[in-house]
Structure 1
Amino acid sequence: MRSRLPDQVAEALLAPLVDQHCHGVRRDDLVRSAFETLITESGAPAPPGTTHFDSPLGLAVRRWCAPLLDLEPHAPPAVYLARRAELGAEEANRRLLRAAGVVAFLMDGGGDGDLLSPAETGRLGGAAADEVVRLERVEEEVAAEGLVSLDYLDRLQREVEERASRCVGLSSVVAYRYGLDFEAGRPSRGAVLAAAGRRLADPKRPLGDPVLLRHLLWLAADVARERALPIQFPCGDGGARPSAPHRGDPARMAGFIRALLPLSVPVILLDCYPYHRQAARLAAAFPHVYAGEARPAALTESLELAPFHKLLFGSGGAGVAETIYLGALNHRRALGRLLAERLAEDEWSAADAVRVAQMIGSGNARRIYRL
């Protein structure tokens, strides 16, 4: 990277990042079968006679993560996992998280069970760490308390307000629970009460009622306005129910996004691939919309459409620390290639390239999340 870029541009790329979208990683030692399920989106074991190491992520782990564990690049899977076990989960996590070069981890969720909490992630990664509160998780915890409808709605509001006082942002997976083709306006009080009654008749099921989801989103929007918090919306096709209509295209959210405009609540569209161009266009069209994309190819195309002050880095890492490290590495490599091309064509100056790298890597996130 340094041989192709001016020193000041290479230094900007290597500067500490704000990882505005990551999840907890496992704190326990992992056997091979458990590790492999964490390096695939399916979360399922590989078919008999195959391995999830035979994938882009599996090869990247062996190439780029192996040296961080004192192994040669391309170490065989068995050797890699044996060394990981020899070091222990804490030391392996410490090396990988610190190598990511992250100054702040903004984590979806507060850590649960075998997952590192934000405080533990920050300690091992040598960085600050804060929580982004998942709205649907809050609702499901409240629903499980067995309240009647009115008490449930009051309790939900208080809980969202209280959680918001201790976090840097809110997030919703409405795209994965229902889809993005939902009505934009606030639901009526009567409709919400009726939906609450239906919800509390079976409180253990995941939240999927469109009326309650809209109510939760507008409740979050009001709280976010009061506390100057952004709201994240993971989109794309990953994890969505196959039956959810138009589940991944963020353009389907345009009505809701437009309705939020008077509130000036920042909306961050995450992981929108293969709809990243639509997300970039929304970021260009609306002053309160931003885009974060972990895939390097999507980042390159997003830079063709969105203002540079509207794009944010996020590793999307989850499950194992390797995914957070590789997210940061791939971001720097992809952005470095793009900057080198712009400089070689004399489209940008070195100062422009430095500024773009700084904005996307940390500056935009510091401003939006008020870090």
Structure 2
Amino acid sequence: MSPASPATGPVHEALAGLPLVDHHCHGVVTADPDAERFESLITEGAAWPDSGISPFDTPVGVAIRRHCAPVLDLPRHAPAAEYLARRVELGWHEVNRRFVTAAGTGVFCVDTGYAPDRITTPTELAAAAGDAVAYEVVRLESVAEGLAAEGVEPGEYATAFRAAVRDTVERRGAVAVKSVAAYRTGFDLDPNRPSDADVTAAAARWLGPGGTDGRRTDGSGTGGRGTDGRGTGGRAPERRPRLDDPVLVRHLLWTAADLGLPLQLHVGFGDSDIRMHQVDPTRLTDWLHRTSGTVPVLLLHCWPYQRQAAYLAAVFEQVYLDVGLTLHHVGPARARAVLEEALEITPFRKLLHSSDAYGAAEFFHLGALAFRRGLADLLQSRVDSDELSLPDALRIATWTGRDNAYRVYGLPRDGLA
């Protein structure tokens, strides 16, 4: 076997042919980004154009040049300049089509609450993949910030927010809601439901003069997907107050618990707005006790807390996890190691696949590739050492890549085996 050839086996073959459910992702850009913009899209930090440090000289940058270059008809490890030139030569529409199709994804659950660029809608994303389906995930902070921008009175905020969330979910046919509380407050929150009086007082602080500490969700900050701060892609920024009041974040999470839909929570790795020591998911333990029996809670990405997330999935019926964003950043070379830690104690019906792709279509392909290869390597090695039967390994592969998401989100299963 040549060094460039991946390991093969029955589990690899099964996962290679499995149409995935990407249970958390975003749209991709509908323009040809220049070099600096593309580099900003492939890092959770920022592009530092005058530093001599390029995001291409990172694990994710190397993985793009190794695994994405061939999709653009380039040799493996093509230099960054050649890679970027080829992207422009093909044009964004063809680039998006190639990478989204290469992922082999049949269903996308798309978070539409983060859009500093002009990006594809869920329908456009599904069309780029060919024979695929897309569903929407509503970001709760975006609903709250939109409500504030419309001029809601503090005394009406609690009732108006609940109504706005339900209306948004119904109008969009959403299958889940999501919170970026990790970016805004961290998880060191009072686990109890706030009273309407508490919410009114907090809303008055938030909506009053200076209540947002001058921070807006308009692309003017330095953060990423929690702050909408990756730049505005040439569009005039929309001025919205940033929801970062702990009482209002608690109200948001409890509203989600009442809604009946799965709740996605960003955990761990993210941009510089994250305070990593405050986003260990075990800090949510008391809240999870109080919301037991309400809605599924899906912990997204999780690095470096994949073991803590696994613990929560092992002891709370409603908790699920993925390591989505992590896998394309560590690349196929380290995907197995991350998945091994995530699966040490996680019930096999609790792990899902996601790419968390945003902006750069490469992340759909790279995330799927890293997931398929990493999980297949892990499961096949356990079959080979007789720690796992082949039927069990194939069942776990199908559960993780597809069926767990169908079950937790209640997706239509027409045509599934």
- Alignment equivalent of 2:390, drawn from 350, 353, 357: 350
Structure 1 residue 103 corresponds to structure 2 residue 106? yes
SS at match of 1:312: coil
Structure 1 residues 358-367 or 174-183, which shifts more? 174-183
Counterpart of 1:114, as a letter, is R
Aligned-residue offset at 1:3? 5.8
- Alignment equivalent of 2:244, drawn from 205, 208, 215: 208
* Counterpart position of 1:134: 139
CA RMSD between the two structures: 1.8
Structure 1 residue 180 corresponds to structure 2 residue 187? yes
Aligned-residue offset at 1:153? 3.0
Distance 2:272 2:69 in 1: 33
Aligned-residue offset at 1:237? 4.1
Aligned-residue offset at 1:198? 1.2
Distance 1:90 1:210 in 2: 41
* Counterpart position of 2:285: 254
* Counterpart position of 1:197: 204
Structure 1 residues 34-43 or 356-365, which shifts more? 34-43
SS at match of 1:45: coil
Distance 1:36 1:216 in 2: 34
Measured against aligned partners, the alpha-carbon deviations of 1:312-367 in whole angstroms (never above 9, x if no partner) come to 01112112000121010000111111012101111111111110100000100011
Structure 1 residue 274 corresponds to structure 2 residue 310? no
* Counterpart position of 1:56: 59
Aligned-residue offset at 1:44? 2.6
- Alignment equivalent of 1:164, drawn from 145, 164, 169: 169
Distance 1:205 1:148 in 2: 14
- Alignment equivalent of 1:235, drawn from 263, 267, 282: 267
SS at match of 1:309: coil
> Unaligned stretches of 5+ in structure 2?
213-239, 328-334, 412-417
Counterpart of 2:298, as a letter, is I
Q: Percent identity?
A: 46
TM-score (norm 2): 0.83
Aligned-residue offset at 1:12? 3.5
Distance 1:141 1:344 in 2: 54
Distance 2:67 2:387 in 1: 32
Structure 1 stretches of 4+ with a deviation exceeding 4 A read none
Native 8 Å contact 1:36 1:51 kept in 2: yes
Native 8 Å contact 1:14 1:332 kept in 2: no
* Counterpart position of 1:67: 70
Native 8 Å contact 1:66 1:74 kept in 2: yes
CA distance 1:196–1:152, change in 2 (3 Å): same
* Counterpart position of 1:308: 348
Counterpart of 2:348, as a letter, is F
Native 8 Å contact 2:293 2:318 kept in 1: no
CA distance 1:194–1:266, change in 2 (3 Å): same
Native 8 Å contact 1:176 1:247 kept in 2: no
Native 8 Å contact 2:26 2:358 kept in 1: yes
Native 8 Å contact 2:186 2:279 kept in 1: yes
Structure 1 residue 359 corresponds to structure 2 residue 395? no
Structure 1 residues 59-68 or 92-101, which shifts more? 59-68
SS at match of 2:278: coil
* Counterpart position of 1:325: 365
Aligned-residue offset at 1:82? 1.2
TM-score (norm 1): 0.93
Native 8 Å contact 1:240 1:248 kept in 2: no
Native 8 Å contact 2:268 2:276 kept in 1: no
SS at match of 1:176: helix
Distance 1:2 1:353 in 2: 18
SS at match of 1:305: coil
Aligned-residue offset at 1:157? 1.6
Measured against aligned partners, the alpha-carbon deviations of 1:197-249 in whole angstroms (never above 9, x if no partner) come to 112214743111111111111112111x2xxx21011111423646x584221
Structure 1 residue 14 corresponds to structure 2 residue 17? yes
Distance 1:49 1:262 in 2: 52
* Counterpart position of 2:321: 291
CA distance 1:91–1:78, change in 2 (3 Å): same
